[in-house]
């Protein structure tokens, strides 16, 4: 019996390792971006029934696990308030160092509001560089202005 979504994530990770599955291949089978599908497999998004069934086939999940994939999850996956994983910590560092700059430049360009993480897309690619390959991350979120009332 499954009692929480993390157990399904653990099943997916275990099958991914055992079967040498790539996230990009899973995304191609689902027909969505590797970024969104990976987030969903890691428990941060909900699949619809058809998608969940396909994920179940790929990872060999039970009907109960497939049902859990369709439940709206509790979002936010960091185990600590300040991340300790080096890669995730560097993102925390980027926001700590450049967060105010990002905020100022968005407000200057768009006005008072936020960038949505709901109406959002992300693209992560390898960028070949003779001085060492680079990680190219593009975040695109709809601008949502604050309303007056």
Task: Report, in this order, helix, strand and coil percent for the chain, each rounded to 5.
Answer: 50, 20, 35
Mark whether 93 is an active-site residue: yes
- The rounded distance, in Å, linking the Cα atoms of 72 and 83 is 24
Catalytic member of 93, 96, 104, 134? 93
Beta-bridge mates of residue 114:
144
Report yes or no: 55 and 61 within 8 Å, Cβ to Cβ: yes
Catalytic member of 28, 64, 77, 90? 90
Mark whether 134 is an active-site residue: no
| DSSP code of residue 46 | -
Catalytic member of 14, 77, 116, 121? 116
Residue 8: is it exposed, middle or buried by C-beta count within 10 angstroms (0-12/13-18/19+)? buried
The b-or-e profile of 34-71 (16+ CB within 10 A means b, else e) is bbbbbbbbbbbbebeeebbbbbbebbebeeebbebbee
Mark whether 116 is an active-site residue: yes
Q: Which residues are catalytic?
A: 90, 93, 116
């Amino acid at each position: 019996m499954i009692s929480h979504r993390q157990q399904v994530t653990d099943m997916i990770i275990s099958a991914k390792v055992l079967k040498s599955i790539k996230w990009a291949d899973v995304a191609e089978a689902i027909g969505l971006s590797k970024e969104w599908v990976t987030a969903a497999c890691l428990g941060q998004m909900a699949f619809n029934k058809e998608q969940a069934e396909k994920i179940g086939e790929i990872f060999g999940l039970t009907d109960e696990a497939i049902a859990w994939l369709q439940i709206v999850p509790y979002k936010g996956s960091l185990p600590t308030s300040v991340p300790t994983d080096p890669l995730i910590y560097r993102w925390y560092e980027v926001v700590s160092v450049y967060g105010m700059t990002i905020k100022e430049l968005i407000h200057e360009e768009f006005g008072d509001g936020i960038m949505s993480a709901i109406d959002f897309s992300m693209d992560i690619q390898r960028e070949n560089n003779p001085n060492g390959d680079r990680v190219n991350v593009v975040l695109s979120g709809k601008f949502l202005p604050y309303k007056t009332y």
